[in-house]
A and B are shown apart, each in its own frame.
Chain A
Amino acid sequence: MRADVVVIGGGPAGLAAAIGAAKEDKELNILILERDHELGGILNQCIHNGFGLHTFNEELTGPEYAARFENQLKDYNIDYLLDTMVLDIAQNKVTAVNSANGVFSVECGAIVLCMGCRERPRGALNIPGLRPAGVFTAGTAQRLVNIEGYMPGKEVVILGSGDIGLIMARRMTLEGAKVKAVCELMPYSGGLKRNIVQCLDDFDIPLLLSHTVIDIKGNERVTSVVIAEVDEHSKPKKGTEQEISCDTLLLSCGLLPENELSRAADVKINPATNGPVVNESFETSIPGVFACGNVLHVHDLVDYVSEESARAGKSAARYVKSGQKPDVNAIQIKAEKGVRYTVPSTVRINELEDDLIIRFRSTGVFKDSYIEVTIDGQQKIRRRKQIITPGEMEQVILKREDLNQDVNEITVAITEG
């Protein structure tokens, strides 16, 4: 098989990347490889609304948002294979398997990595206790409820107040379950305020900040969990334990980009994001291999995934047309005080078509502070923000004309007022 651009993953990132590539050059032969039996990825199970405000100026549910993109595939003549698992990537070659073709290779001009992310499971959280049925990640529970139509439990405790956990608190409640508490290890929630109000407060579900689960009981099915308050080092405080009877524990404790394929191909990974290190074109350390969406860094809104992926797809198309670029004058973008990481990590000024969008997340909660960007030590941006939290992605835009060949370094920092 041959394709100009192979897109790995048919979720929101993959769909937007494929369309982005096609828009750049309609003649290109673009192939999406999707491991599930339908396109759309995680959007299929995100049946709540709130998607698309930035992209379509209206509030859509996940399946509707995905459909808007899927509908464009035909117009752009984009091919896709379902139930197809990619096994291996190399420069200019993707190896995959499905039941119709067996193990097959696709020779290609460029690859866009759009594998998304997965949830941190119980095992990776070191939660003590027994291992009965009834412990699910929030996303698994979401799939069971929304797609399969089954209830994973009747009395629920949720650990982690990420958005999926909050959304599932409401969803389980609407379907008749009793959600007894949402525990959050941190002193703040990583979820959107809107979700805290509309998914918890609306249903009188308590949100217990600085709390964690310290024991899971029940030999066959969960019978209760023990929760406790934690100190500033996240260690449980003696004497604060309380046992909550329940049959289900849902975990919403963070997302991890799924970069097993990238790692196996020796794509350089940024330890702060667990995603590839990319330049302004979303190109990884391997020429012709691009990355976007949650496999690159975990996003808060799908609209940003789509926007970023469209640009990555466009870059991939341009790469195919013009071949490998010499990696000249790559300027480092440094994440300084208060900034956990930036995407991209480097910029090649020559390749920069428009203004430079730098996305990042903060290391903690900052109130009344400033986002500061410097170019070679000179302050270019100083923007006041009432609040910055790690749960929300931030961005700054540097004007194209402020960047030239002589620039050596760009820094992004958060400073207090």
Chain B
Amino acid sequence: MDNSYDIIIIGAGVTGCAIARELSKYEARILVVEKDEDVCTGTSKANSGIVHAGYDAKPGTLKAKMNIRGNELMTDLAKDLDIPFKRIGSLVVCIDEEQKQGIEDLYQRGLANGVQGLKILNRDEVKELEPNISDNVVCALFAPTAGVICPFRLNIALAECACQNGVEFRFNTEVTDINESENGWIISAGNEKLNSKAVINAAGCHADEMHNLISDNKYHITARRGDYILLDRALEGFVNHVIFPQPTKLGKGILVTPTVHGNTLIGPTAIDNDSKDEAPVTADGIAKVLEGQAKNVTGLPVKQVITGFSGLRAHEDSGEFILKEEINCFFDCVGIESPGLTACPAIGEYMADLVSSKLQLVIKQQWNGICHDVKKPFEMDEKERDQLIKEHPEYGRIICRCETITEGEIIDAIRRTLGARSLDGVKRRTRAGMGRCQGGFCSPKVMEILSRETGIPFNEITKNGGNSKILTGRTKNES
């Protein structure tokens, strides 16, 4: 294999993949290296799935600019890449008369950042929009441009689109060293050496380590854990907007929101985590989530929890997005914490500009920015669905009964560009196993399909790559 590239991007999260897609518009040999087995395995997989309006960040910061621009770009991007996205609007709720000024300040900050459509609603207006909000509500900042998105599809679609336009991906490839060479950089991944003219560091929680390999200007990232709980879709409609408490120094606080798929999500906490890779859910974390949301919303049936999870945000000490060339075509995207998901299309655009002008890249003649999601028979109209099942009977065989996911969808998720290789990979691409039974019924069937389609033996199928095998062997002492 020829290991020489024009650009190597480290990290296949939303940031890395958004940059990859933008750069795939240019004539260049591009590689994305990822330490895990799939795209969307770090910060990108476990977050609130919110497209923020952009009133939080301080005016003039990159965080503010990228948020606003990312939000603007999201409508078209979601359409082009077939990403579930709903602009449902957000409310920052004030429940204490004395904190009212905070809402006004946030409103002003939003105006300064250029957020469209902001409005301060009085108590009655808030109650009308959200009947289940606390009776103590004083007022709320309403931002109609906020929304909810499927973070998995966003990440996966960006990667699929980059890939269909020629970007290469290597998984299970952990960068262990980076050295400057005569004509660029040598990236070591274990024994393997990769050469590239430019390097883009989009390594999420590990971006400081990547950067510090090549620079004396040291960065420091803290993995800040956010615990969440996810409630059953049966509660759909309990809240209809993203509902934030008033922000504090620690962050935006614990929100409650419908997800784009109709679950109710509560979280996150903000707890500094020892590990950058292992994000445990803790009893304290769950307690904080429940306590945090209780102030804003009344009577949320938290017993209908279907799962708890936590994610790690890459918090750099400066608290700002660091998006720049460090030295000689080594580009950093460091400290991409919230609103990173919202900002990713803008970061992609911004970084692609920096890199393409530096390398003097030429725009391709042909580029395909459209990418379709897995076909979902139960989101189609009847006629279309009947036709699909007639032509492909596997779309009539339900595998995941909780989310009504068919064998056809799972096969598609495996066979498509950068297809799934693990249970989690299938889950993020199709939602099979994301429902109320959490894969209890469907995981053996999904394993069978994975094994049949990929040729990986049944007992080698993993949850998410590496040593995460589901099974340890056969019965009857057979190996």
Query: Is A bound to B?
Result: yes
In the complex the two chains form, is B397's CB within 8 Å of A175's CB? no
> Which A residues touch B171, using CB under 8 A?
none
Flag whether B299 is at the interface (Cβ < 8 A).
no
> Which B residues touch A279, using CB under 8 A?
none
> Which B residues touch A318, using CB under 8 A?
none
Given contacts A103-B382, A123-B230, A220-B468, are A132 and B463 in contact (CB under 8 A)?
Answer: yes
Which chain A residues in 134-188 approach chain B with CB under 8 Å?
A: 134, 137, 139-140, 143-145, 148-154, 175-176
Flag whether A247 is at the interface (Cβ < 8 A).
yes
Contacting residue for B281 out of A129, A137, A150, CB 8 A: A129
Flag whether B455 is at the interface (Cβ < 8 A).
no
Segment from B159-167, B325-333, B383-391 that makes contact with A: B383-391
0/1 per residue, B389-411, Cβ < 8 Å to A? Answer: 11001111110011010000000
Flag whether A1 is at the interface (Cβ < 8 A).
no
Contacting residue for B437 out of A97, A118, A148, A216, CB 8 A: A118
Contacting residue for A150 out of B230, B282, B308, B475, CB 8 A: B475
Contacting residue for B398 out of A97, A119, A130, CB 8 A: A97
In the complex the two chains form, is B309's CB within 8 Å of A131's CB? yes
Flag whether A356 is at the interface (Cβ < 8 A).
no
> Which A residues touch B230, using CB under 8 A?
123
Closest-CB distance, B246 to chain A (whole angstroms): 27
Which chain B residues in 462-479 approach chain A with CB under 8 Å?
A: 462-464, 466-477
In angstroms, Cα B477 to Cα A55, docked, is 36
Q: Which residue from chain A places its CB closest to the CB of B465 in the assembled complex? A: A220
Flag whether A215 is at the interface (Cβ < 8 A).
yes
Which chain B residues in 281-324 approach chain A with CB under 8 Å?
A: 281-283, 285-286, 305-309
Total cross-chain contacts (CB, 8 A): 140
In angstroms, Cα B473 to Cα A221, docked, is 14
Closest-CB distance, A250 to chain B (whole angstroms): 12
> Which B residues touch A175, using CB under 8 A?
475-477
Contacting residue for B438 out of A103, A122, A133, A263, CB 8 A: A122
Closest-CB distance, A313 to chain B (whole angstroms): 24
In the complex the two chains form, is A150's CB within 8 Å of B393's CB? no
In the complex the two chains form, is A144's CB within 8 Å of B444's CB? yes
In angstroms, Cα B284 to Cα A126, docked, is 11
Closest-CB distance, B228 to chain A (whole angstroms): 11
> Which A residues touch B385, using CB under 8 A?
102-103
In the complex the two chains form, is A35's CB within 8 Å of B475's CB? no
> Which B residues touch A87, using CB under 8 A?
404
In angstroms, Cα B426 to Cα A231, docked, is 40
In the complex the two chains form, is A101's CB within 8 Å of B396's CB? yes
Given contacts A119-B440, A151-B471, are A99 and B393 in contact (CB under 8 A)?
Answer: yes
In angstroms, Cα B462 to Cα A365, docked, is 43
> Which A residues touch B444, using CB under 8 A?
140, 143-144, 148
> Which B residues touch A248, using CB under 8 A?
472
Flag whether B459 is at the interface (Cβ < 8 A).
yes
Does more than half of chain A's interface fall in helix, strand or loop, or is it mixed?
A: mixed
0/1 per residue, B185-218, Cβ < 8 Å to A? Answer: 0000000000000000000000000000000000
> Which A residues touch B283, using CB under 8 A?
126, 128, 214
Flag whether B458 is at the interface (Cβ < 8 A).
yes
In the complex the two chains form, is A98's CB within 8 Å of B397's CB? yes
Which chain B residues in 426-479 approach chain A with CB under 8 Å?
A: 436-441, 443-444, 458-459, 462-464, 466-477
In angstroms, Cα B283 to Cα A215, docked, is 9
Given contacts A100-B396, A128-B286, are A152 and B441 in contact (CB under 8 A)?
Answer: no
Flag whether A349 is at the interface (Cβ < 8 A).
no
Flag whether B105 is at the interface (Cβ < 8 A).
no
Flag whether B280 is at the interface (Cβ < 8 A).
yes
Flag whether A219 is at the interface (Cβ < 8 A).
yes
User: In this complex, which of B443, B475, B476 has the most chain A Cβ atoms within 10 angstroms of its Cβ?
Assistant: B475
Flag whether A387 is at the interface (Cβ < 8 A).
no
Q: Which residue from chain B places its CB closest to the CB of A97 in the assembled complex? A: B396
Closest-CB distance, A252 to chain B (whole angstroms): 12
Contact residues on A (Cβ < 8 Å of other chain), bracket: 35 or more
Closest-CB distance, A369 to chain B (whole angstroms): 30
> Which A residues touch B279, using CB under 8 A?
130
In angstroms, Cα B440 to Cα A121, docked, is 7
In angstroms, Cα B462 to Cα A128, docked, is 22
Closest-CB distance, A192 to chain B (whole angstroms): 23
Flag whether A83 is at the interface (Cβ < 8 A).
yes
In the complex the two chains form, is A133's CB within 8 Å of B458's CB? no
Contacting residue for B278 out of A118, A119, A219, CB 8 A: A219
In the complex the two chains form, is A123's CB within 8 Å of B305's CB? yes
In angstroms, Cα B438 to Cα A137, docked, is 10
Given contacts A35-B401, A148-B444, A149-B476, are A99 and B396 in contact (CB under 8 A)?
Answer: yes
> Which B residues touch A375, using CB under 8 A?
none
> Which B residues touch A126, using CB under 8 A?
229, 283, 286, 305, 308
In the complex the two chains form, is A85's CB within 8 Å of B401's CB? yes
In the complex the two chains form, is B467's CB within 8 Å of A150's CB? no
In angstroms, Cα B443 to Cα A139, docked, is 12
Q: Which residue from chain A places its CB closest to the CB of B394 in the assembled complex? A: A99
Flag whether A124 is at the interface (Cβ < 8 A).
yes
> Which B residues touch A154, using CB under 8 A?
472-473
In the complex the two chains form, is A128's CB within 8 Å of B396's CB? no
Closest-CB distance, A209 to chain B (whole angstroms): 21
> Which A residues touch B285, using CB under 8 A?
128
Q: Which residue from chain A places its CB closest to the CB of B389 in the assembled complex? A: A102
Flag whether B274 is at the interface (Cβ < 8 A).
no
Flag whether A260 is at the interface (Cβ < 8 A).
yes
> Which A residues touch B397, using CB under 8 A?
83, 98-99
Contacting residue for A123 out of B306, B396, B401, B470, CB 8 A: B306
In angstroms, Cα B459 to Cα A152, docked, is 9
In angstroms, Cα B306 to Cα A103, docked, is 28
User: In this complex, which of B281, B385, B462, B469 has the most chain A Cβ atoms within 10 angstroms of its Cβ?
Assistant: B281
In the complex the two chains form, is B459's CB within 8 Å of A176's CB? no
Contacting residue for A98 out of B278, B282, B396, B466, CB 8 A: B396
> Which A residues touch B396, using CB under 8 A?
97-103
In the complex the two chains form, is A130's CB within 8 Å of B459's CB? no
Q: Which residue from chain A places its CB closest to the CB of B441 in the assembled complex? A: A118
In angstroms, Cα B436 to Cα A121, docked, is 8
Closest-CB distance, A300 to chain B (whole angstroms): 21
> Which B residues touch A145, using CB under 8 A?
475
In the complex the two chains form, is B463's CB within 8 Å of A151's CB? no
In angstroms, Cα B463 to Cα A132, docked, is 8
In angstroms, Cα B286 to Cα A129, docked, is 11
Which chain A residues in 203-227 approach chain B with CB under 8 Å?
A: 214-216, 219-221
In the complex the two chains form, is B468's CB within 8 Å of A132's CB? yes
In angstroms, Cα B470 to Cα A220, docked, is 10
In the complex the two chains form, is B471's CB within 8 Å of A144's CB? yes
> Which B residues touch A85, using CB under 8 A?
398, 401, 404
Contacting residue for A103 out of B234, B277, B278, B389, CB 8 A: B389
In the complex the two chains form, is B389's CB within 8 Å of A99's CB? yes
| 29 A–B pairs (Cβ distance < 8 Å), ordered by A | A97-B396, A98-B397, A102-B389, A102-B396, A103-B389, A118-B441, A119-B440, A121-B306, A121-B439, A122-B307, A123-B438, A124-B305, A126-B229, A126-B308, A129-B280, A132-B468, A139-B440, A140-B441, A144-B444, A149-B474, A149-B476, A150-B459, A150-B474, A151-B471, A151-B472, A152-B470, A216-B280, A220-B463, A248-B472
The 10 lowest CB-CB distance pairs between A and B, nearest first, are A123-B307, A99-B393, A99-B396, A121-B438, A133-B463, A85-B398, A220-B468, A133-B468, A102-B389, A220-B467
Given A85-B398, A121-B307, A150-B471, 9 more A-B residue pairs with CB atoms under 8 Å apart are: A102-B390, A103-B396, A118-B436, A118-B437, A121-B440, A124-B436, A133-B462, A221-B468, A260-B402
